[in-house]
Amino acid sequence: MTTLSELNGCDAATFTDRLRGIYEHSPWIPERAAAQRPFANATALKLALQAVVSAASLDEQLGLIRAHPELAGKAAVSGQLTAESTNEQAKSGLHLCSAEEFATLHKLNADYNDKFGFPFILAVKGPDGQGLTRRAIIATFTRRLKNQRTDEIAECLRQIKRIAELRLNDLLGITLDFGPTIMQWCETLGAWSDTDNSTNEDFDLTCAYMTPAHRKTAAQLLDWMREAGMDTRIDDVGNVVGVYCSDAPGAKTLMTGSHYDTVRNGGKYDGRLGILLPIAIVRHLHRRGEKLPFHFEIVGFAEEEGVRFKSTFLGSNAVTGRFDPSLLDQTDADGVTMRDALLAAGHDVTRIPAIARDPAQLLGFVEVHIEQGPVLLEHDLALGVVTAIAGSSRYLVELTGLASHAGTTPMNMRKDAAAAAAEIVLLVERRCAQGASLVGTVGQLQVPGGSVNVIPGACKLSLDIRAADDAVRLAAVKDVLDGIAAICARRQVEVSMQQIVDASAAPCAPRLMQQFGAAIERAGLPRFDLLSGAGHDAMAMAAITDVAMLFTRCGNGGISHNPLETMTADDAELAAVVLLDFLRSFHPA
């Protein structure tokens, strides 16, 4: 065990020697960082070491990668690993591989080396500091084998930095106050799904509005909030609300929160992190008997993703008084209305309007959320301050052609709805590649009841176009809609479209962004600002109060809305430290 002050105080050679095991067989890394001492905290030290890796030449970087052993490779078998590697690989149970697993890993190692010319690197301690399962390791290995070389060099360097972070935590005896609890809570909620996972090897987390899994999740959030010392309730749209009350006379309310529903087969952190992280903070404050000079209210929003019904932001729209009651007549895929779904869960839909908050009582709304994209990851940063939430336009498109026999209808006499849809998919892709922050997606695509031998008479698809700049977005939407009309006219296919979202970009409040930025810098990190391409509850909340968002780094290349979505306990810890600091030093104006 070493302390930061020892590392700051010793000579450069000792510094390098103490950190010898952090970056595998690569003492040049601490050597180059030594001159930057003293470091204000461990985070600053980690970042300095990472910066040396990033600034190194490609040859040095490849040398660093190649200094690592193969996973469960020959070196492991013959005992040539560093002590750190041996310990890490053992924690993952890699030494317990079955013959089949060994053979698979052997083949993957060989294929990977053939393709890239360096060994596969993976931090086998998982996001929560526990060992990844052998299944997860093999799945990640298989997936990354398909990457391009440049992407894979970058990914290996990130994994090496993560391994170094974990080793440095051990070396300095750093314990995390919040991160492990938050990660464990995410695991608990992430195990409750609408899907039957009993026969599914790949666990599918789907938590749609007012399903049994959803209601179980709400009840658990309520329990955790209560145990943390909050006044709690579940409102009539399903939001789970906890208030950590202030003693201050005339105290107003600072709100935070995010959603607890998920997309189909989604990630464990999307939404939930923004509820669980502040609960962990309140628990900490409550245990210390520490009060805030304002009421701190956490809302677990019941619905944001729009999976079950054709509508999004049900929870936050209710809080802002913008819940559209006509939505209660919408039906899910089984024909159940939203009204009946709420009724079955014991909610009184007539009381939804009463959920609306009085804007005069609010100090603002802040939301912690996983980035769901690759920007922080590519900048080697745990946290970022959101500047604005991109505007978005969404449509459902139904194409009607003419179903006919696949074998007997000449190619030039067809009215193929799927072929029209195919042109639309590629049009969206092409048009939306023409703008910096512009993205366009056809996420739903289906020939209803299609048969192999029938020309598609119908095709349904969705359209989602977003940009930071509303004018850029609306110009792309116009081009895409014009293109759809032209495609359908040429193919004699009918089109009907329904716009389901038209949300302007929502800028974050500079006064809140500034306070987040300052707290980030106090934690030893640089302030980094970025746009949110995704919509968030904060976008809805912006209708009644100032908003700001704190993004956390998203692993695995920034994948989200996917079981591969991941983050680390260290990043959760940093986000909690920053939010706690933000709350303690919060000033309304």
Q: Where are the alpha helices (DSSP H) in 56-124?
A: 58-66, 74-78, 83-91, 99-116
Nearest distance in Å: CB 461, a copy of itself: 8
What is the distance between the alpha carbons of residues 16 and 7, in angstroms, rounded to a whole number?
9
Q: First and final CA of the chain: distance in angstroms?
A: 44
What separation in angstroms does the CA of 312 have from each of 3, 208, 329, 344? 49, 11, 15, 20
27 prior amide bond cis, ω within 30: no
Nearest distance in Å: CB 170, a copy of itself: 33
Nearer to a copy of itself, 1 or 411 (CB): 411
Task: Among 41, 330, 441, 504, indicate the residue that binds a copy of itself (CB under 8 A).
Answer: 441
Task: Among 182, 307, 484, 579, indicate the residue that binds a copy of itself (CB under 8 A).
Answer: 307
Nearest distance in Å: CB 425, a copy of itself: 4
Task: Among 174, 349, 425, 475, indicate the residue that binds a copy of itself (CB under 8 A).
Answer: 425
What is the distance between the alpha carbons of residues 543 and 76, in angstroms, rounded to a whole number?
58
Binding mask 443-472 for a copy of itself (x = CB under 8 A): xxxxx-xxxxxxxxx-x--x-x-x------
The tokens for 320 are 């802002």
Q: What are phi and psi of 298, to 5 degrees?
A: -105, 125
Task: Among 81, 421, 477, 495, indicate the residue that binds a copy of itself (CB under 8 A).
Answer: 421
Nearer to a copy of itself, 297 or 332 (CB): 332
Q: Token match 């639309």: residue?
A: 424
What separation in angstroms does the CA of 175 have from each of 168, 179, 278, 554? 11, 9, 19, 22
Nearer to a copy of itself, 126 or 391 (CB): 391
Nearest distance in Å: CB 586, a copy of itself: 28
| Helix (H), strand (E), coil (C) string for 473-505 | HHHHHHHHHHHHHHHHHHHCCEEEEEEEEEECC
Q: Which of these ranges, 177-185, 283-291, 300-308, 469-477, lies near a copy of itself under the rule CB under 8 A?
A: 300-308
Nearer to a copy of itself, 293 or 563 (CB): 563
How many residues line the site for a copy of itself (CB under 8 A)?
79
Q: Token match 């974050």: residue?
A: 508
| Span 484-503, contacts to a copy of itself by CB under 8 A | 492, 494, 500
Nearest distance in Å: CB 401, a copy of itself: 10
Is the Cβ–Cβ distance between 370 and 271 less than 8 Å?
no
Closest CA to 372 of 555, 132, 183, 574: 555
Task: Among 225, 533, 572, 578, indicate the residue that binds a copy of itself (CB under 8 A).
Answer: 533
Q: Which of these ranges, 419-427, 506-514, 521-529, 541-549, lies near a copy of itself under the rule CB under 8 A?
A: 419-427
Nearest distance in Å: CB 534, a copy of itself: 4
| Span 319-378, contacts to a copy of itself by CB under 8 A | 371-374
| Span 389-418, contacts to a copy of itself by CB under 8 A | 390, 392, 394, 396, 402-413, 416, 418
Task: Among 64, 76, 506, 559, indicate the residue that binds a copy of itself (CB under 8 A).
Answer: 559
Nearest distance in Å: CB 9, a copy of itself: 43
Q: Token match 């970058």: residue?
A: 154
Nearer to a copy of itself, 218 or 554 (CB): 554
| Span 188-247, contacts to a copy of itself by CB under 8 A | none
DSSP string, 248-264: STT--EEEEEEE----T
The CA radius of gyration of the chain, in Å to the nearest whole number, is: 26
Three-state DSSP at 291 gives coil
Is the Cβ–Cβ distance between 131 and 125 less than 8 Å?
yes
Nearest distance in Å: CB 207, a copy of itself: 13
Nearer to a copy of itself, 68 or 431 (CB): 431
Task: Among 6, 358, 429, 521, indicate the residue that binds a copy of itself (CB under 8 A).
Answer: 429
Site for a copy of itself contains 562 (CB under 8 A): yes
Binding mask 127-166 for a copy of itself (x = CB under 8 A): ----------------x--xxx------------------
Nearer to a copy of itself, 165 or 423 (CB): 423
List all residues 6 or more positions away from 172 whose beta carbon is below 8 Å from its beta carbon.
Answer: 1, 2, 3, 4, 42
Binding mask 1-20 for a copy of itself (x = CB under 8 A): --------------------
| Helix (H), strand (E), coil (C) string for 514-529 | HHHHHHHHHCCCCCCE
| Span 256-285, contacts to a copy of itself by CB under 8 A | 263-265
CA 577 to chain centre: 19
Binding mask 95-134 for a copy of itself (x = CB under 8 A): ----------------------------------------
| Helix (H), strand (E), coil (C) string for 327-378 | HHHCECCCCCEHHHHHHHCCCCHHHHHHHCCCHHHEEEEEEEEECCCCHHHH
The tokens for 231 are 């006044």
Q: Which of these ranges, 26-34, 38-46, 435-443, 566-574, lies near a copy of itself under the rule CB under 8 A?
A: 435-443
Nearer to a copy of itself, 50 or 392 (CB): 392
